[in-house]
Every structure is written in structure tokens, then in C-alpha cells.
Amino acid sequence: MLHSKIKNEEIIERYARNQLTPEERQAFEEHFFGCDECFAELQSVEAFVAGVRDASARGLLNDQRATAPSIWTWAFASVMCAALILCGIIGLKYLRDTVELRAQLARATDQLRVERLERSGLEAKSSAAESAEANVPVAMLQASRAGEAPSAIVLQPGARHLVLWIELGPSHYHEFRVDVFSDVDHLVGSLDHLALNPYGAVTASLPTDQLPSGDFRITLTGQDPPPAALAGEYHLQIRRP
């Protein structure tokens, strides 16, 4: 039920006097249970009606033929007017406080959003700073031949990654896979979807915490176009000071 209908058809007064149809009563009750304004006004009207009925039952009201209302009528009317004014003041204060609280909540939400964006920016900068690394060691690998010593590299303290540079030359494969095995053929790490760079080599970066001192066997497998096939095998010796 809309506020305009409630005002225009005096729904609140008719409800207090029990003059609504069952359908109107149900519709109004569904409305005022969720409307603080109508609920407060209904309470005031019901209090007024109850007071008038009580005064009438006590014989405090003059007969309709009287030319002027009694002092009790004026007193009761004054009390009810004061009550209505008080209800209006309380309602306005409640509305003002609600608006202010909503404004404060909106400001707090905006501030939280700004802080989250700033935190995300700082985390992104920190992550970028941590991922940057100078003097990254590079192991140049060539296909192993019988009797040849393996390639060797010394990993200095502080090195977080080792770049494998695998010389290959022209190939009909567009994508490759690198598998790194320890000296006991334990798979240490793998990298897929690698491509040849302009120098005819495949490069791969491995975290050094997976590469202890020792000998490693590295295989390069052509993947695309299928079928996959071994393109090269390499040996690398890693030492740490």
C-alpha cells in the first residue's frame, strides 16, 4: 500500500476506528510493520482514539449540543498535540541520524576501498622488486657426445634462478619441452611450450633451490607438431662454492 493512498484515504484513522475492509486492513498491516513513520503515526492515533473513548465513557466530554468543549477536552487535546509534536521531533531526529550514519558508512567504505587499492599497489611493487634478479647465471648447453665432459657451472650464493641456453639450430618443431633429471634419473623439473628464439636456441629458467650440487641430465623434446620426439640430450654439472 502506497503512502499517497494512506494519506488521501485516511487509512490510519479508519484503521484505528476499525472501518477498513478485510483486504484494506491486511494491505495496511503489511505496510506499517515495515514503515516506521506509519507505525509511529498509528500509535499516536490509537492513543488519541483510546483517550477520547475513555473520556467519553467517564462522561468528561460535553454533549454534542453544548456550545463549547469542556476543560477536560481541551486538556486532553493539548496533551495529544504535545505527544504528536514530540513524536514528530523524535522521527525527524531518527531520520537525520540515519542519514548521517549512512553517510559515515559510505565514507568508511570509500576509505577502505582506497586503502585496499594502495595495499594492492604496494604488494605488486614488492612482488616485482622481489622477482627482479641481477647477474642471473646462464648454462650454455650443447648436445652431449660420448667421451665429452659435461657442461659445468658454479652457482654463487644469492642466485635464485639458473637459465638453461640449449643450442639446437633449425627445427620443424614450434614447441618444445625440457625435462631435468638428477644423476639417479629423478625428475627435478619440467617446462612446456618452449619456443626457439631468434638465435636458434631454447631457453628455460629453473629455480636454484631445486638444483643441488651434482650431475644432471637434460632432455629436449619436440612437441608441436606431433608426434613428439627427442630433439637432444644434454649433461650439466652444478657446483656450489
**pLDDT tens figures, 187-233:** 999 999 999 998 889 999 999 998 999 999 999 999 999 999 999 99
Pair 162, 209 in one domain: yes
| 3 pLDDT more than 90 | no
* CB-based contacts of 61, cutoff 8 Å, min separation 6: 52, 55, 69, 70, 72, 73
Residue 48: domain span: 3-129
Residue where a domain stops, chosen among 71, 101, 129: 129
Q: Which residue has the higher pLDDT, 199 or 53?
A: 199
**pLDDT digits 0-9 by tens, 21-49:** 888 888 877 776 777 787 778 777 777 76
Pair 69, 103 in one domain: yes
Alpha-carbon span 113 to 108, nearest angstrom: 9
Beta-strand relationship, 187-194 and 161-167:
unpaired
**pLDDT band at residue 64 under the 50/70/90 scheme:** very low
Pair 166, 72 in one domain: no
Pair 143, 125 in one domain: no
Residue where a domain stops, chosen among 129, 146, 178: 129
Place of cell 636454484: 208
Answer for the pair 192, 165: CB distance below 8 angstroms, yes or no: no
Residue where a domain stops, chosen among 83, 107, 129: 129
* CB-based contacts of 210, cutoff 8 Å, min separation 6: 188, 189
**pLDDT digits 0-9 by tens, 74-118:** 667 777 777 778 777 787 777 677 777 777 777 877 777 777 777
**Average pLDDT of span 116-121:** 70
Pair 120, 187 in one domain: no
What total of structural domains would you count in the chain? 2
Pair 18, 123 in one domain: yes
From the list 35, 47, 49, 29, the residue with the least C-alpha distance to 86 is 47
pLDDT of residue 165: 93
Answer for the pair 19, 49: CB distance below 8 angstroms, yes or no: no
**pLDDT digits 0-9 by tens, 149-197:** 788 999 998 899 999 999 887 889 999 999 999 988 899 999 999 999 9
pLDDT of residue 237: 93
**pLDDT digits 0-9 by tens, 122-138:** 665 655 555 667 889 99
Answer for the pair 204, 219: CB distance below 8 angstroms, yes or no: no
CATH code of residue 170: 2.60.40.10
Residue 21: exposed, middle, or buried by beta-carbon count in 10 A (0-12, 13-18, 19+)? exposed
